[in-house]
Structure 1
């Protein structure tokens, strides 16, 4: 009985030391993101600026705006901090329960069982059509209500642009999704020099610049045809390049995203089931350690 107690507690402590380090690995970067640490910004800003250069290398964008670091990474920072703190608290509970307060082991086990239940429910929901519909609807609503353009750095605009660039597509169901975009700045102007005069030409964008076909590798790439790729065909006289050669406007992002999810389902199931099984083992070890320690104390009391 004594060996079983020591073995279970030793395994729990060793494994949770790893989780403690993992918790710190999430918590510290989260705090650094939240505080806009120069160490983080000097690594992230060049990527964002490169992204901005790529999707604004055209005559029909505004001068852009300052990178809103807080808007882009605030949610990520909060998630890292909360997840890191959760891991740290759980590992400390195991260590305290193993060395002195035995009740912490059963509290840990109950929490892990609750976590397993939540993960099992989420894993089951992942394979339902309702999950797919919800994800698709969320992206559609983001385009309709929050998307502002390729030269904007709020989190919603950046995410939609990244989806376009990663999967070489345009909108959830094609470029017509942007017909209902409420805050997208589709009316743009371009200055044209004719002789000694500068004329401003107004145009209406048919798609975001991020829907254009790109040359080069992400994030160091430029639109194949920056002057017309986002316009309605025929807007610029004398330019008749077939639209499908310069734009991804008819490529549906949802089809690409769905294919990506389908290709990863086996991996997700394997990782999810493995994680649940591992957590179940930890909970069982905690219960065994709790019971053996309690029985040992009771036997000492009875013996006395």
Structure 2
């Protein structure tokens, strides 16, 4: 093909990079198919609560249940793009190189736009999430029960909240306070004004196995000790924020690698075109 040293290096880089991309595509594609066949990956107890949270018209439950399809689609796209890149570099197919560079460039721009939107809208998203969580707790938390242990549970969403508190070891949406907490305005408290409990057992260390017999008045009634002080929004946010540095680093590296891949494809195409003109 008459490539110079830079062109040959770009060709090798493109081949190796796209072999890695092929493996990455398979790594997403195969688990996506397996998860789609056996779609028990979403906890059925928390799913009713996830269904109440919507962003941009899409429910969180729908997004979670569509994860397998997303993995299949993304994995297939990455795999196909990698095949095109390898064919273009190995076989000298200039059209394949053009398609590869164009598709990767579009993905690169899309990723950059998503990152910029997230940075500019992060505070707004966090505020909206908190508001939706608090509204759902106030409107739909009506029972301190677990449906798997008590078939008379009056609300699946209440059960979902209780499972969330147990699994994440958090309580309510905002941090619990001795003076007030998020449960004060719930239907659970309003419909039982003489009830001594101020927070549910799920906030006090109860587990699924001992929920029916669990009792800790110093926690549920007086909030002296034993309750989960962190609100669930902060707990979820901290879980995500813990990996922010890793996400940012991976994102930057990905953008750089994709940029080099685009440059390599363009360089190989240009050298192949120049060589064919003078051949």
Q: Same fold (TM over 0.5)?
A: yes
Shift of 1:251: 2.9
With normalisation by structure 1, the TM-score equals: 0.61
Residue 76 (structure 2) pairs with residue 85 (structure 1):
yes
* 2:93 alignment partner in structure 1: 101
Residue 117 (structure 2) pairs with residue 116 (structure 1):
no
3-state secondary structure, aligned to 1:282: helix
With normalisation by structure 2, the TM-score equals: 0.65
Q: How far, CA to CA, are the matches of 1:100 and 1:19 in structure 2? A: 19
**Per-residue CA distance 1:43-95 (angstroms, 9 max, x = gap):** x69xx69x99xxxxxxxxxxxxxxxxx97963221121121112112112212
In structure 1, which of residues 234, 245, 255 is the aligned counterpart of residue 225 of structure 2? 245
Q: Assess, with a 3 A threshold, how the Cα gap between structure 1 residues 209 and 295 changes in structure 2: closer, same or farther.
A: farther
Q: How does 1:141-152 map to 2 (within 5 A)?
A: 141=132, 144-145=135-136, 151=146
Shift of 1:210: 4.2
Alignment length (residue pairs): 245
Contact conserved, 1:136 with 1:172, CA < 8 A, in 2?
Answer: no
**Per-residue CA distance 1:178-233 (angstroms, 9 max, x = gap):** 67779x9x989xxxxxxxxxxxxxx7986565433368xxxx9967x82357x962
Contact conserved, 1:187 with 1:205, CA < 8 A, in 2?
Answer: no
* 2:18 alignment partner in structure 1: 16
In structure 2, which of residues 236, 244, 255 is the aligned counterpart of residue 276 of structure 1? 255
Structure 2: tracts of 5 or more residues without a match:
47-60, 149-156
Q: How does 1:142-221 map to 2 (within 5 A)?
A: 144-145=135-136, 151=146, 164-165=165-166, 168-174=169-175, 177=182, 207=199, 210-213=202-205
Q: How far, CA to CA, are the matches of 1:178 and 1:87 in structure 2? A: 46
Q: How far, CA to CA, are the matches of 2:98 and 2:127 in structure 1? A: 41
3-state secondary structure, aligned to 1:103: helix
RMSD between aligned residues? 4.5
In structure 2, which of residues 249, 267, 277 is the aligned counterpart of residue 288 of structure 1? 267
* 1:74 alignment partner in structure 2: 65
Q: How far, CA to CA, are the matches of 2:255 and 2:110 in structure 1? A: 10
3-state secondary structure, aligned to 1:296: helix
Q: Which has the higher strand share?
A: 1
Shift of 1:22: 1.5
Contact conserved, 1:30 with 1:77, CA < 8 A, in 2?
Answer: yes
Q: How far, CA to CA, are the matches of 2:186 and 2:96 in structure 1? A: 52
Structure 1: tracts of 5 or more residues without a match:
53-69, 189-202, 234-241
Query: Higher mean Cα deviation, 80-89 or 98-107?
Result: 98-107
Residue 40 (structure 2) pairs with residue 34 (structure 1):
no
Q: How far, CA to CA, are the matches of 2:136 and 2:75 in structure 1? A: 32
Shift of 1:277: 0.9
Q: Assess, with a 3 A threshold, how the Cα gap between structure 1 residues 139 and 107 changes in structure 2: closer, same or farther.
A: farther
